[in-house]
Structure formats: structure tokens, C-alpha cells
Amino acid sequence: MASEEADSMMGEDWEADDTLSGGDTSSGSIGSSPGTPSGGIREAVDYVLSLVARKEYAESEIREKLLRRWDPRCADEALAYCVAQGYVDNARYASMFVRYRGRNHYGPVRILRELAARGIRGDAADLALEECEVDFGEAALEYARKNFRDGDLSDPAWKGKAFRRMAGRGYTADQIRYALDALKEEISDRDC
């Protein structure tokens, strides 16, 4: 069933695709060239399609999963095919990841660190952060409201604790200062 779905997604030229068969299409099946593990590249691609049908993955995560089942050559060829076809896309993954983590009260510093751990660095990560709809200053304020509304922000020790906790969530110093100052003002307005 999954193989039939994969065939329809990959189009008519799948069987004759020289890039996946190592150039040998005489046997009529993908991954039948010498040195290919049983199961072959086609099964690796089917496996990737079953993974990405459920959720987005970074290329490095897919490669890790493939290497658990197939040799490096097979894993790399299957991944290259999936990237070329647009089934696996680091830019799309980064964009989704930034939106999700930002909405769950994580700051840009931590998000960039987590993207780097998934193999997405530099321009791709920066672009995803720039294009996201998350206002990190407001997200920091929401987080502060939720976690520190009952504290005494005029106490330097309490404010330091709040600052460290928000820094651990990945907010910048400016975002933290903005959030804590706005929360302190809200609390003083409420108490009047």
C-alpha cells in the first residue's frame, strides 16, 4: 500500500531513474545494483515518505534514521532524491520549527541553538527566524505574566531569578528587560 502511494507520488519515471539505481536499470528495479543492501534505495525512499507524511524532519534527522537501516551510500542517495523532489526541505522545516517553538515561549537564542543541533545553521536559520510571525518581545511578556506575576519584581534577587529563567528559555537580554519591566508596571497598575 505504501509502495503504491510512493509510486504515484514519484511519477512514471521512478523505475527508470538512473540516479537511484546507480545507472543500472537493466534489472528493472531500483537499488538492485551490486553493493546495495537488501531492501535497496526504493525501500529507503518509501521509508522517508512514510516519515514525512506524519511530520516535518530536517535532512540530518532523516539521514540519521536512514543510517539505522541502510548503508551510507543507500541512505545518501535516498535522501538526495527526497530533497530533489521536495519531500524533505530544511527551509520548510526551519520555518515550522521557529513558529512552533516561538509560540511555546522559547526565545530566538534557544531556537537558533536547537536548529543548529538539527544541522540548520547560518542563513537558513536566520531567514526562518526573520520570517516567522512571532513577536519575541510579546512572547517573553506572556511567559513572564504566566510565571512571575505573583513574584516581587522590585526585589533584585527575585528579578535575577526571573531573568536567568527567561535567559534559559532563549530570550535576549533586551526582550527579558522589556518583559519584566512591562510586567512590573502591570502589577503596580493593578495594585493601585
More reliable by pLDDT, 34 or 55: 55
38 and 52 share one domain: yes
Which H or E run contains 160?
Answer: helix 156-168
Average pLDDT over residues 24-44: 52
113 and 151 share one domain: no
pTM of the full structure: 0.71
Looking at residue 36, the DSSP 8-state letter turns out to be P
75: domain range? 2-85
**Nearest CA to 174 among 130, 120, 128, 136?**
136
Average pLDDT over residues 105-131: 92
143 and 122 share one domain: no
51 and 25 share one domain: yes
Average pLDDT over residues 106-114: 94
Domain count for the chain, please give it: 3
41 and 102 share one domain: no
Whether 108 shows a pLDDT value over 90: the answer reads yes
Whether 122 shows a pLDDT value over 80: the answer reads yes
More reliable by pLDDT, 171 or 29: 171
Whether 191 shows a pLDDT value over 70: the answer reads no
46 and 6 share one domain: yes
pLDDT recorded at residue 19: 47
pLDDT in tens, 158-176: 889 999 999 999 999 999 9
More reliable by pLDDT, 52 or 40: 52
Residue position matching grid coordinates 528559555: 169
Q: Which of 65-74, 126-135, 143-152 has the highest mean pLDDT?
A: 65-74
113 and 187 share one domain: no
Residues 35 and 176: their CA atoms lie apart, in Å, by 56
Mean pLDDT (the chain, rounded): 81
101 and 120 share one domain: yes
pLDDT recorded at residue 186: 84
Q: Which residues contact 130 (CB under 8 A, 6 or more apart)?
A: none
75 and 50 share one domain: yes
111 and 168 share one domain: no
143 and 110 share one domain: no
pLDDT in tens, 61-101: 999 999 999 999 999 999 999 999 999 999 999 999 999 99
Average pLDDT over residues 36-57: 83
